[in-house]
Structure 1
């Protein structure tokens, strides 16, 4: 008399000792018939010891015998059949768990929980739990079950469940009142919050080295982005650079904004084109950012303008990796509306407008265009410091009569000295 357990790790075929343990085998077979064990979890797995299941609550405290299911007033447990010559000698021995009695001894009875031994010669269990069957097929499944990762309480980290039970042979008649459900259950009976990793998910993905390295770098980048968000360098961790902005470098120092804009405008509408300059000197740093209206225009310019000769320099074009434009709190860009000849604020920062961190370019002075160069108030302070170092007040003083008189005296004295030298 056999039963097939279809588990998430493989199939297990159990031969039952129906002659030596008729009460236990009858209870087990009838529970299988009403799908009582379907979707039950192996909630207690100990390496080289045992794997326990048969509790719908997956806590080790639930379960009831078939008589209690038919008649709720019937006892939850039945008297276990402890046969002396059925011992836990071989791996794959199937035993009905015996709940401890009030006195602490294993005299409480059996209900639905059972276990399969994963090691040989476990004499400790003899006389304490009721052996009623042996595994005859599926030892490779037991090997997999023996190697699962478990938590501190013995529950597998990745769920291991009985998916389906097939009764190969049942010699017992059904008890009166036994009702077989029309369909098998499709919902796990225990608490879903206890599930760590679902049985259809992979605990460790066996990925190629390149893919594994890519995922490690992605995780490291995500962690770094989160750190930068926490310290305030990024507006939010999952920010991405704009896809319509190009970074152009290796420029000639004489290349101007309007030159680049004219060259790149053939690919589409340009929202802004800025050669980055030194704040104090105004010299070009030989790189620029070009913002297109559309992403497709930026892509076309990227492919067409790579290594193109501009002002005797072969430029390098790439997509911008900067996210400064997405965070207007730190942006110092000057936004210019060339259509209406109107200068807007510096990305909404009125403090930059107040300090006038710009100067009118000679070419576009009438148009109202500005280049981001330096702070006029800072120049004024530097001028005052320079004048103070020469002990000259920055303000022009009115002429002093006494000072003019002494100056005329010195001039007349020098003239008389020169005349005397010529006469001599």
Structure 2
């Protein structure tokens, strides 16, 4: 039994319910941890899409902000007014909300990142306000295996560092994230129990069984998992975001056409509803340029969960992906993988998997080089897979060790880490 009583009240806090599969994968892993280690706990969710979380998981859920709860106005001016009013209303709403819980967990995700466009008074402010109100109310908060990078904007740096300072527990999914928080002024050396580096939470998810071979398909046909995203750059790229998107999409279309011409089947995968525009661009091009091949070489069934995405990737031979959690999913299945990286987090993961040579920056994507990397990886697939499987086993052991630390920090459970040496970055 925990020190919090017979039935501690836990809330998961994050951009959940919005369709992002990576966020949901981290949530699934932490939800499984709580239900397994602390089945007595009452579970709720404070999230971006409460109706969707209640539909998928049956968990009582509420919106993060007043504006999310009440929705936009009928006109742009009315929407701006409602957003502004919502920021003021949240100053009273958030304290009342967090006092309902004993523990609030932020499960993984890139919650302290600026690798995509982010406004200071959106998610960063909401996260800071939650942690501040929880601290004042005596509610324990945990940032578990989160991603971070050094923000350029002073407002974001302040919000992120104070969020981390006020949290009861924090850990990171890679050394780069911890170093980024240090660079922004966070002291990560005071408490030996936290500021550790552990693998991404998704590596704790159960792996799906390998599907049986499709007897109708020729034995020589190989399937490539092609992960795409509607990438428009970071805060620094707002003036040219549409050009960035158009350039990236055109190169993905070109590579997909090459795969079809070389005899491969394409399993197109995504990670967010916004990615559908890139899927449509690939399909439209193949339908026009390769009408006789598109139906037998192109497959796309959007997954609703990261578990569903894992099931899709279990049936492919190689993966080329852009979204971070598409890359994570492929690597945890020990699939030979090429990363089209939009952030250091993907590069760090590929390096840790000893696949550093099979990556490219998304804004400098070179299709000819990608084809060369693809051919090289395919020829070496048999040799890289065993090393990937060994690394995956280490990741799972590290996450299990962290669960002991987390239980002690949040629930007061008298548990010590079983394998301290599995912590990373030490």
Which category of TM-score, normalised to the shorter sequence, fits these structures?
under 0.3
Structure with higher strand content? 1
Larger radius of gyration between Structure 1 and Structure 2: 1
Query: With structure 1 as the length reference, what TM-score do the two structures score?
Result: 0.18
Structure with higher helix content? 2
Instruction: Using CA pairs under 8 Å that are at least 6 residues apart, name the structure with larger relative contact order, 1 or 2.
Output: 2
